[in-house]
Amino acid sequence: MIPAPYLLYLGGTADPLSIKTSRGVAEFRPEDCVGEFRRDESPLTLGLKRLTMAEAAAAGARTMILGIAGAGGRMGPDLIQDAAAALEAGMNVASGLHHRLRDQPRLVALAQERGLNLFDVRDPPHDLTVGNGTKRAGKRLLTVGTDCSVGKMYASLALVRGLQARGQPADFRATGQTGIMIAGGGVAVDAVVADFISGAVERLAPARHDDGWDVIEGQGSLFHPSFAGVSLGLLHGAQAQALVMCHEPRRPHIRGLPGYQVPDLADCLARNLEAARLTCPDVRVVGICLNTSAMSHEEAARECAATADRLGLACSDPIRFGVGDILDELLCAEPLPHATTASR
């Protein structure tokens, strides 16, 4: 476990999507966050107290979380310098980037010298096996998306909380760096060798016999040329009986690839169902979660209502409006007719 409390790192980025890890920890583990560190060139804030490394350590922070996620997960010179400063101030450092802290000699030396730890949460288990698609007991829901960074983790956590509030056993199964830091465990599937992705998900959400739900955090999109392989491995390994589609209505194009348009929701639903049926023929879509953070409350309500009417599926922004209608559909004894019709 990564020692709390935390200082959340924003660096010098101006891209709101790049700080999604720090934002997620701030929203779902606020009691463990003492403040944020950002460089002067960054206009972003999480609404936490802005602290220097020394101030954060004095306030009790035990770990600085490098909660940024740039393209390729690289560690630039500024980030390494700031991580070194955190160690010098007496804090551990945790990262979910593809480039590892342990591969930075300066950071390794500082951590050893001061008796501190470097946490690379994207390290997958070393003994993974390939998936086999064997039917296993239990109920599983997988969140999927039209693109990256559209709210799959937020939707998954909201669904878990909603199920628990209804007295249903439910667990969040984290598959990305932010989710792992929130949950305290999981498998970063985008760091798993391709042949072992479905097997990693089978291990992450094994057979269960308590009539409870595993809610598996989705990653990427079948329509993203860079990350579709991870999404497909998740669909096969999850063997999910239920899917929830996540989407940001006003996104102009696939993230990072202006030449690729965000797919039509109905087409995306059909493609995900087709892929998921390989390991769970009876899979169904139980709802749509929209990320309406760029809209007013009234615009968001209209968008959710219009999407629900167009596709015949429960639709909500899980943060603004909750997931009650989606859970009603999930927990009904039999699939409603629209769940099949809308997916064709």
Confidence of residue 71 (pLDDT cuts 50, 70, 90): low
Confidence of residue 343 (pLDDT cuts 50, 70, 90): very low
pTM of the model: 0.87
Confidence of residue 336 (pLDDT cuts 50, 70, 90): very low
- pLDDT score recorded for residue 70: 61
Model pLDDT for residues 146-192, shown as the tens digit of each residue? 999 999 999 999 999 999 999 999 999 999 999 999 998 899 999 99
Confidence of residue 20 (pLDDT cuts 50, 70, 90): confident
CA–CA gap between residue 304 and residue 309 (Å, rounded):
9
Question: Is the pLDDT score of 140 beyond 90?
Answer: yes
- pLDDT score recorded for residue 18: 87
Query: What percent of the chain shows pLDDT beyond 90?
Result: 86
Confidence of residue 342 (pLDDT cuts 50, 70, 90): very low
- pLDDT score recorded for residue 333: 52
Which structural domains are found in the chain, ordered by start? 6-120 (3.40.50.720), 139-341 (3.40.50.300)
Q: Which of 27-36, 71-80, 141-150 has the lowest mean pLDDT?
A: 71-80
CA–CA gap between residue 161 and residue 142 (Å, rounded):
15
DSSP assignment of 15-74 equals -GGGGHHHHHHHHH-GGGEEEEEE-TT-----SSPB--HHHHHHTT--EEEE----GGG-
CA–CA gap between residue 91 and residue 195 (Å, rounded):
37
What are the structure tokens assigned to 320, written together?
A: 């603004």
Q: Quick check: 178 and 24 in contact, CB under 8 A?
A: yes
Burial of 187 (0-12, 13-18, 19+ CB in 10 A): buried
Q: How far is CA 112 from the centre of its chain?
A: 31
Residue range 216-222: mean pLDDT, rounded? 98
